[in-house]
Structure 1
Amino acid sequence: MKITTTFNERVLAERILAIDTVRGLVMVIMALDHVRDLLHLPAQTQDPTDLNTTTAPIFLTRWITHLCAPTFVFLSGTSAYLSLQKRRQQGGSTAQTRQFLLRRGLVLIGLELTLINFAFWTDIQFRTMLIQVIYAIGGGLVLLSLLARLPVRWVGTLGILIVFTHDLLLLVPPVASPVGQVIWALLFRLQLFPSPSFTLLVAYPLVPWLGIMLVGYASGMLFGRPLIDRRRWLCIGGLVSLALFVGLRFINQYGDVAHWSAQRTGLFTVLSFLNVSKYPPSLLYTLLMLGLMALLLAWTDGVDNGLTRVLRVYGTVPMVYYLIHWYLIKLIMIGLVYAQGYSLVIGTLSFGRPPGFGVSLPVVYLIWLGVVASLYPLCRWYGRYKIAHPEQVWLRYI
């Protein structure tokens, strides 16, 4: 079947606004997690999802942000698919788009290792390195630039296979050699590599997140359908994903290393049921978050109102927002550190936070809203600048 028989040319000629809307929503939510990490008083010593020590507000503040990373990764795959199809419809070479995916992936990895990690630790010597979501997206785009040669259904099948089976890799014994351990962690497993002079934390191993990206790539086919059809299929996909989550979670045997259990209250039992593992993204985590994401896409597709227009401002410039919001939050943290009479700690896994520093959860929410609001004018200007200057190729990378 030809692509032209399944893809609506008018759809490809336009931006899919629901993608920008949902991406903008999760970018706004993402900032909440980063403000909490850097500023909330218990963030240094308390796991917000540890049901033995957390509270429901702290748990939910962290849990809602689980939606962000899989949405970013999934929609990166979807956007790659739409770019390739648009190139085909215009009679261009898809090889150029694949080369762009390769270059953009390498740029993202470079940003992760430099500007982003400097924002984390404020250490010019780079004695601490955190490998996280931008590495996962960048590495995924590099691999997708190769896999995009294959039929779309093959790519989607590979993605589903990874999503449903990578939890089995947790059964593989640790690799013996130090170099092998680093490679294995970069590909498959969360692992910390501490040393007196340099610490590496691999938080987002590539392959589990690649599975999500490949599913997003194959799901791009939905966006060539008429609006009513794609909304229906997004709803069906979201509900099926959530139903699979509920069924597998209830069985409590496969799909997440953290099993749920009855807790001291009914509310905390529900929280236990929802407390899925992100590092690496378990099958149940992926089913739950992508199910919610699909419903959000269905509900916002074709919707144009004040809220969706605001969210799209953030969603059309994700990389600039991501970079600047980290530096802005870090500057706020530094100012509050000295305002509270502390000194900045450099070169540790504490984001520079000294022991005892922090603010309450309500203050975290106020600062989060201030950060998001303050970035709106810049994101709006940059988005318009990109549209007005298509000849500046470097803008496509940031």
Structure 2
Amino acid sequence: MTELQTKENNSRISSIDAARGLVMIVMALDHVRDFMHVASLTQDPTNLQTTTAALFLTRWVTHLCAPTFVFLSGVSAYLFYNSSPGSSRKKFLFSRGLWLMFIDLTVINFALWFDVQLHTVIMEVVFAIGFGLMVISLLLKLPVRAIGLAGILIIFGHNLLQGVSFKNNPVLDFIFAVFFRQSLFTPKPGFAFITAYPLLPWLGVILTGFSFGQIFKLPELVRKKRFLQIAASVFCLFILIRGLNFYGDPLPWSVQKNALFTFLSFINVTKYPPSLLFILLMLSVLFIVLWLAEGKNNPLVKVLRVYGKVPLFYFVLHLYLIHLLTLLMVFVEGHTFTNLKFGLLRNGRPEGTGVDLGTVYLIWIAVVLFLFPICKWYGKYKQKHRGNRILQYL
């Protein structure tokens, strides 16, 4: 989650902020569900053998969030650097990336677990973005097309490594997991490290986003047309590869108990780590969103931009708010402080607690509405103090 200045004629590019704002709103739904849904501690919402269509789609629609954040971080890095190329901006990209990695392992992890001893540490999407920005800062002397080609090769090729394992060499296995595979490691009793967002696949996404930054320098009508063309091409490629059903995702689709669940199987692509098909499908949706938002200044776009202008601020704030609401839910259900369970893989919520899916949606809407005036205030404050070096990192 990064917000670098993206300028066009001295104003921000509205489609970027609107797309980012949309997925930030959707992201809150996923986190409310994950923290508060009655079945979230015991049920995988994408397991077609146990889930419902409503629960599956509630989870599936939020798949759009991480690819959008990572891809647009690459776009923003391109626009930021190329608006005034120089060593100072190169250094800022590197330091910004390092800062995001630190924030992820500390502030964001505490928001997830409320555990001051951090018995559980998880590499989240912000860590992957930070790493990507650092890599971009080291590649700026290369042609933009070369950087983009490297990103595309990673996206299309990393699934070849999905079955590789080094279980007999713990150090090598850990390093491999950090870059290629979601894994849980317990190097000592009472501590776990989770590589939820392996770095290499997401690096492919951010490098590709960096190269696509060139499109945003085209005239508005031209890039709007390009968005639609790219969306159609990427989606058709997804349909072709998914239909062949032999590469691009470790989970093949199959005929299910009815047509709806067969369709859900077809779109049930792997996020951890993001498979080729996951990335193709989600980026095709992203380009549709950009196409719809490009050149628009209607009330909906204005609302979305309020959130999209302050992504890191919103990301951190909404996690703390949802976690606090989770504890409030637990107390309302009759539990006390002594019932809270913190520590290894625990965020305080006892088993058997939670609300139904309908209530999850109501809480989600309340969270988004509550954060709107706060994000609006912070966006104006940040704009007013644009020269503040500290605010550039927040």
TM bucket, shorter chain? over 0.9
Q: Aligned partners of 2:39, 2:77: CA distance in 1, in Å?
A: 39
Q: Does 1:360 align with 2:356?
A: yes
1:256 and 1:177 map into 2 onto residues whose CA distance is 26
Partner residue in 1 for 2:111: 119
Shift of the alpha carbon at 1:201?
Answer: 1.0
Residue aligning to 1:207:
200
Select the residue among 42, 47, 53 that pairs with 1:45: 42
The answer on 1:374 being equivalent to 2:366 is: no
Q: Report the CA distance between 1:10 and its aligned residue.
A: 8.3
Residue 296 of structure 1 and its aligned partner are, at CA, apart by: 0.7
Deviations 1:243-300 (A, max 9, x none): 0000100100000000000000100000000000000000000000000001110111
Q: How does 1:89-238 map to 2 (within 5 A)?
A: 93=86, 95-194=87-186, 195-238=188-231
Q: What residue is the counterpart of 2:307 in the other structure?
A: 314
Amino acid across the alignment from 1:249: R
Contact 2:7 2:13 in 1 (8 A): no
> Residue 54 of structure 1: SS of its match in structure 2?
coil
**1: CA distance, partners of 2:259 / 2:347:** 35
Which amino acid in the other structure matches residue 232 of structure 1?
K
CA change 1:336–1:149 in 2 (3 A) is same
Partner of 1:5 in structure 2? none
Does the 8 Å contact 2:70/2:129 carry over to 1? yes
Shift of 1:97: 1.1
Contact 1:12 1:85 in 2 (8 A): no
Structure-1 separation of matches of 2:129 and 2:190:
28
Structure 2: which 5+ residue stretches go unaligned? Answer: 1-5
For 1:183 and 1:42, how far apart are their aligned partners in 2? 33
AA of the residue aligned to 2:24: M
Residue of structure 2 equivalent to 1:295: 288
Alpha-carbon deviation of 1:96? 1.2
2-structure distance, mates of 1:12, 1:186: 40
Which residue matches 1:273?
Answer: 266
Counterpart residue type for residue 321 of structure 2: L
State the AA in 2 paired with 1:287: L
Q: Would the alpha carbon gap of residues 12 and 223 (structure 1) be closer, same or farther in structure 2, given more than 3 Å must change?
A: farther
Give the Cα–Cα distance (whole angstroms) in 2 for the partners of residues 21 and 175 of structure 1: 44
The structure-2 alpha-carbon separation of the partners of 1:142 and 1:241, relative to structure 1 and needing over 3 Å to count, comes to same
- 3-state SS of the aligned residue for 1:356? coil
**Residue 251 (structure 1) aligned to one of 241, 244, 248:** 244
Determine the structure 2 residue equivalent to 1:30.
27
Q: Residues of 2 paired with 1:328 and 1:70: CA distance?
A: 24
Offset at residue 184 of structure 1 (A): 1.2
Deviation by residue 1:57-85 (Cα, 9 ceiling, x = unmatched): 00000000000000000000000000111
1:193 partner SS:
strand
CA contact (8 A) 1:12 1:86 kept: no
2:384 pairs with one of 374, 384, 388: 388
Residues 314 and 259 of structure 1: CA distance in aligned 2, closer, same or farther (over 3 Å): same
Which amino acid letter does the alignment assign opposite residue 160 of structure 1?
A: I
CA distance in 2, matches of 1:174, 1:233: 43
Range with greater deviation from structure 2 (380-389 or 141-150): 141-150
Percentage identity across aligned positions? 49
- Give the partner amino acid of 2:238: F
> Does the residue aligned with 2:193 lie in a helix, a strand or coil?
strand
Question: Helix, strand or coil: the match of 1:129?
Answer: strand
TM-score normalised to the size of structure 1? 0.95
- Taking only aligned residues, the RMSD between alpha carbons, in angstroms, comes to 1.3
CA deviations 1:361-386 (Å, max 9, x no partner) are: 00000000000000011100110011
For the 8 Å contact 1:192–1:201, the answer to whether it is kept is: yes
Cα distance in 1 for partners of 2:11, 2:191 equals 47
| Structure 2 counterpart of 1:137, one-letter code | I
| Aligned-partner Cα distance in 2 for 1:281–1:126 | 26
The Cα shift of 1:12 comes to 5.5
SS of the aligned residue for 2:162 comes to: helix
Report the TM-score when normalising by structure 2. Answer: 0.96
Q: CA deviation at 1:174?
A: 2.5
Distance 1:40 1:319, change over 3 A: same
Higher alpha-carbon deviation: 339-348 or 32-41? 339-348
| 1:147 to partner: Cα distance | 1.4
In 1, distance between residues paired with 2:95 and 2:366?
A: 34
Instruction: Show the counterpart of 2:254.
Output: 261
CA contact (8 A) 2:191 2:344 kept: no
**Residue pair 2:248, 2:277 contacting (<8 A) in 1 also:** yes
Q: Is the 8 A contact 1:48 1:62 kept in 2?
A: yes
Structure-2 residue corresponding to 1:59 = 56
TM-fit CA distance, 1:13: 3.3
**Cα distance, 1:28 vs. partner?**
0.1
**What residue in structure 2 maps to residue 18 of structure 1?**
15
Give the match for residue 344 of structure 1.
340
Whether the 8 Å CA contact 1:130–1:201 is kept in 2: the answer is: yes
SS of aligned partner of 1:322 = helix
Q: 1:263 to 1:99 in 2, by over 3 A?
A: same
Give the superposition deviation at 1:176.
Answer: 2.8
